Structure 1
């Protein structure tokens, strides 16, 4: 009986072994579809870019076309035995456009010693002096017919009390400033109808307005 059981077990082991070794490999399956590409990784940081600075504010209008002369010494004498006298300053920058559209300002300066200190006083012409000195100083631009090839500014001093002028050097130096049409700075208008009245401004105000050096 035992011999019979051993024989059965032996046969079963043999059958299993034959079954394992007799099985053939199956055919390879079809290639599956390509997978979706992965997301690229982020580049490493090499330092962050700085933020752009804010735009600066626009500057105020400039005065590139405004002309100013040097200080010009007077040619009026210290002893004038008449009631008026004059001399001319050549101003070639004044043309027909300036005469019709622009503005010409003329300033006179006197210098005196006061308590040992040198002081200067600058006036826009015309200017009058009263008291012991009865004088008026004016500046006139010669008309088109008088200009010729070079424009001129005529400086004239007059006595106001029917006496001789005597001292014409009270104002010792002169300067003129030319403001072309369209360069009326400090106003919303670019024409001579501007509400800025330069003829009423002091020399210090004009100097600051147009960045004129001393």
Structure 2
């Protein structure tokens, strides 16, 4: 019996040594296993609201360009001619009052004058200056609020019967030097080409500025 107990103790001791010699620290590292499948991507979050523009440097909304109007344009009704019905001299002139004709308009604007024959069936309107028959019908601006109307024969003879029965003037301020075409300088949105008013017909001027007959 005593011998058997000794053998059991020996076996237990040997078994303990075997267990101690097989610890994880002394063993070889095993191979890395295959990577697992990638998980599904999560739902993207909602975009945040845009921040408000700062007070400085923010551009305002561009306004619409206004239509051409008559706010600064001055025009008269038809004014009866004061020339004699039969002009016995080779030249004649009369003064036409033009309230609103300023020195600024004289220097920088445009003065248009028209004559009308109300006797002819066509009721024709002539932009001045104009040669009609043998006579030169014109005008000049001597001073503010005054337009000088003139008639002169081309051959030095008497003018005779007048052709134009009444007159009308249109005063257009600034931005239009004599002849040619100009550009009004402003913002890119408001830059506008201005035609040469002296080359436009009476009807075109009426429509361009919205002037009623």
TM-score by structure 2 length? 0.60
Question: Structure 1: 5+ residue runs without aligned partners?
Answer: 1-55
After TM superposition, give the deviation of residue 190 of structure 1 in Å: 2.7
After TM superposition, give the deviation of residue 81 of structure 1 in Å: 1.0
After TM superposition, give the deviation of residue 197 of structure 1 in Å: 1.3
Q: Secondary structure at the match of 2:206?
A: helix
Contact 1:65 / 1:183 at 8 angstroms: preserved in 2? no
Tell me whether 1:179 sits opposite 2:172 in the alignment. Answer: yes
Where does structure 1 differ by over 6 angstroms across 4 or more consecutive aligned residues? Answer: none
Residue 63 of structure 1 is matched in structure 2 by 70
RMSD of aligned Cα (Å) = 2.4
Q: Secondary structure at the match of 1:88?
A: strand
Residue 210 of structure 1 is matched in structure 2 by 209
Deviation per CA, 1:51-95: give whole Å up to 9, x if none. Answer: xxxxx9655232311111111110111111110011101112111
After TM superposition, give the deviation of residue 113 of structure 1 in Å: 4.6
Cα distance in 2 between the residues matched to 1:167 and 1:61: 40
Aligned to 1:96, which of 77, 82, 103? 103
Residue 151 of structure 1 is matched in structure 2 by 145
Question: Structure 2: 5+ residue runs without aligned partners?
Answer: 1-62, 186-192
Higher RCO by CA contacts (8 Å cutoff, separation 6 or greater): 1
Q: Secondary structure at the match of 2:107?
A: helix
Contact 1:83 / 1:159 at 8 angstroms: preserved in 2? yes
Residue 83 of structure 1 is matched in structure 2 by 90
Residue 190 of structure 1 is matched in structure 2 by 184
Residue 128 of structure 1 is matched in structure 2 by 131
Cα distance in 2 between the residues matched to 1:127 and 1:198: 16
For residues 13-52 of structure 1, the aligned pairs below 5 Å read none
